[in-house]
């Protein structure tokens, strides 16, 4: 799937311009791409070790896609998305524990809350650019971690919250772990679908314009702040939904898990960077490369010594940064362009 074509496609469903994919072909590529991502589940559905890895891969692919909306398309490199992830997790778990509200419904309040809170907490930092914006959003994550540790009545404090195992579809608790895998796959599919529709809309074009040159976008009549706020609301809401799904999957949540920079906040960015930041398929490719590799290295080398799997993973990421500057999606696109050039020569 050529993500650059998808990102710049004409929003008109009936009159595609030259070189721009029509909606029907986009839908076909989208369906084919989803079928390809289903292959690991079909092949390894009876291996519960790999099934858990696939479940996390689908979940973090969707979360990376959500992060990519504001960071990849909008140019706002956020390290504070762990806050939205945690809000979604705590909201879903609390509603279920205190009022027995089904998590299927409990996902919505967290998403709505983050769609409102996200723009409010990010708005003061939108005048910052590059690393300064990233550091500011990182501060939000650290402040939220401190608050979560002290607000025991809401978060359970350092001990966290535990969701009892009451298996039922309405409780989003399943005895068959494959049901969680399918659920995370649906989340990823929805996130990618929203991303495609967004980048074929007026807001998507505005986001790209703001990312490339804010001053030029403002001179063209685009409300830069409004565009960033709308993109943040969408990105935060999707991240909160992912957090709610995560809470119901592991059923034990605490501040150190939800606000962990290496495992949550930075990982969203890492997956998009490795896969191809600012593309449709890049975050998914990054998740399918990094999450299984990280889990496999931890299982194989975790007992060899502290941090051995992290050293090996860091080496792989270093190679990717050196030889794939545009990520996996960019490397694939370069190979495709090179092949076309050779065929036409």
Taking only the tens of pLDDT, the chain with its 345 residues reads: 444 444 444 343 333 333 468 999 999 999 999 999 999 999 999 999 999 999 999 999 999 999 999 999 999 999 999 999 999 999 999 999 999 999 999 999 999 999 999 999 899 898 888 888 999 999 999 999 999 999 999 999 999 999 999 999 999 999 999 999 999 999 999 999 999 999 999 999 999 999 999 999 999 999 999 999 999 999 999 999 999 999 999 999 999 999 998 889 889 988 998 999 999 999 999 999 999 988 888 888 776 776 776 677 777 767 776 666 678 888 787 788 878 788 776
CA distances from 73 to 67, 76, 228, 318 (A): 9, 8, 10, 24
Q: Which domains does the chain have, with CATH numbers?
A: 8-261 (1.10.3470)
Interatomic CA distance for residues 124 and 135, integer angstroms: 13
DSSP string, 128-168: --THHHHHHHHHHHHHHHHHHHH-HHHH-GGG-EE-----B
The dihedral through the CA atoms of 140, 143, 147, 149 has a sign that is positive
Strands (E), 41-186: 161-162
């Amino acid at each position: 799937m050529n993500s650059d074509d998808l990102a710049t496609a004409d929003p008109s469903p009936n009159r595609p311009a030259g070189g721009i994919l029509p909606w029907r072909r986009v839908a076909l590529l989208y369906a084919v791409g989803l079928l390809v991502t289903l292959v690991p589940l079909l092949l390894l559905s009876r291996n519960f070790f790999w099934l858990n890895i696939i479940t996390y891969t689908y979940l973090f692919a969707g979360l990376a896609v959500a992060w990519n909306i504001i960071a990849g398309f909008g140019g706002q490199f956020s390290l504070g998305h762990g806050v939205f992830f945690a809000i979604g997790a705590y909201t879903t778990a609390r509603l279920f524990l205190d009022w027995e509200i089904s998590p299927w419904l409990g996902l919505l309040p967290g998403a709505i809350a983050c769609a409102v809170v996200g723009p409010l907490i990010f708005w003061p930092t939108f005048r910052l650019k590059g690393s300064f914006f990233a550091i500011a959003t990182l501060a939000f994550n650290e402040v939220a971690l401190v608050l979560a540790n002290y607000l025991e009545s809401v978060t359970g404090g350092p001990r966290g919250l535990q969701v009892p195992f009451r298996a039922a579809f309405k409780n989003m608790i399943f005895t068959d772990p494959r049901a969680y895998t399918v659920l995370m796959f649906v989340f990823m599919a929805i996130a990618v679908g929203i991303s495609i529709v967004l980048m074929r809309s007026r807001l998507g074009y505005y986001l790209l314009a703001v990312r490339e040159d804010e001053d030029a976008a403002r001179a063209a009549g685009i409300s830069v702040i409004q565009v960033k706020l709308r993109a943040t609301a969408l990105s935060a809401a999707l991240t909160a939904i992912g957090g709610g799904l995560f809470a119901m999957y592991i059923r034990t949540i605490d501040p150190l898990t939800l606000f962990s920079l290496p495992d949550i906040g930075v990982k969203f960015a890492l997956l998009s960077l490795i896969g191809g930041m600012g593309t449709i398929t890049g975050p998914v490719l990054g998740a399918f490369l990094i999450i299984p590799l990280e889990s496999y290295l931890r299982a194989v080398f975790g007992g060899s010594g502290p941090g051995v799997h992290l050293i090996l993973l860091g080496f792989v990421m270093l190679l990717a940064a050196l030889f794939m500057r545009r990520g996996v999606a960019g490397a694939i696109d370069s190979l495709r362009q090179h092949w076309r050039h050779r065929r036409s020569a």
